[in-house]
Structure 1
Amino acid sequence: MEIVYCQSCGMPLVNEKEMGTNVDGSKNNEYCIYCFENGDFKGDMTMEQMIEFCVPHMVNAHPGTSEEEARKSMQSFFPTLKRWKNK
């Protein structure tokens, strides 16, 4: 089974409760609950701000990963995500 990632923060979307919501309340399968609610992004931030926000979460989720390693990983991954592509 292919892993689907939030197209804003890169979080794996492994079940419906982690999915954001559209305007009509239906689940959005491209964005997580932390980034997308009622058809709109939560918080207005740049890709760089999102990376800095996500660094501690990635370090906590992946013990042994340094902040710098997490940052570099996201700096290469985030430009491929739908929210940040072509920006």
Structure 2
Amino acid sequence: MSENKFCQSCGMPMDKDPQGGGTNFDMTKNTEYCSYCYKGGNFTFIGDLKEFQEICKQHMKDQGTPGILAWFLAKNIKRLKRWKENR
């Protein structure tokens, strides 16, 4: 598994993840997904893309990201591996 610069679920820069990535079923490090999105081999969010985009957009805004940038980044989540595979 190669290192990714961004979580392939939410798009967060992997260098911003305090855990350095999520965990697989066997608790080994997963570098495709961040620790907020992927724990113990499962995604932490179960729902559809639109719901996830809204949650991510609000979280970015809460962290100080300007609204238009948060909207743009959330809009592009659909291009990430997790969401492309589930279409």
Contact 1:22 1:40 (8 Å CA) reproduced: yes
1:4-15 paired onto structure 2 within 5 Å: 4-14=5-15
**TM-score calculated relative to the size of structure 2:** 0.79
The code of the aligned residue for 1:81 comes to L
1:21-60 paired onto structure 2 within 5 Å: 21-60=23-62
The alignment's C-alpha RMSD in Å is: 2.2
**TM-score calculated relative to the size of structure 1:** 0.79
Q: Find the counterpart in structure 2 of residue 71 from structure 1.
A: 71
The code of the aligned residue for 2:34 comes to C
Structure 1 portions without partners, runs of 5+: none
Q: Which runs of 4+ in 1 moved over 3 A?
A: 60-63
Listed one character per residue, the Cα deviations across residues 27-84 of structure 1 (whole Å, up to 9, x for unaligned) are 1001011110111111311111111111122123444x11x54223321x21210011
- 2:4 and 2:40 mapped to 1: Cα distance? 23
Structure 2 portions without partners, runs of 5+: none
Identical pairs, percent: 37
SS in 2 for 1:83: helix
- Figure out how many residues of one structure are paired with residues of the other and give that number: 83
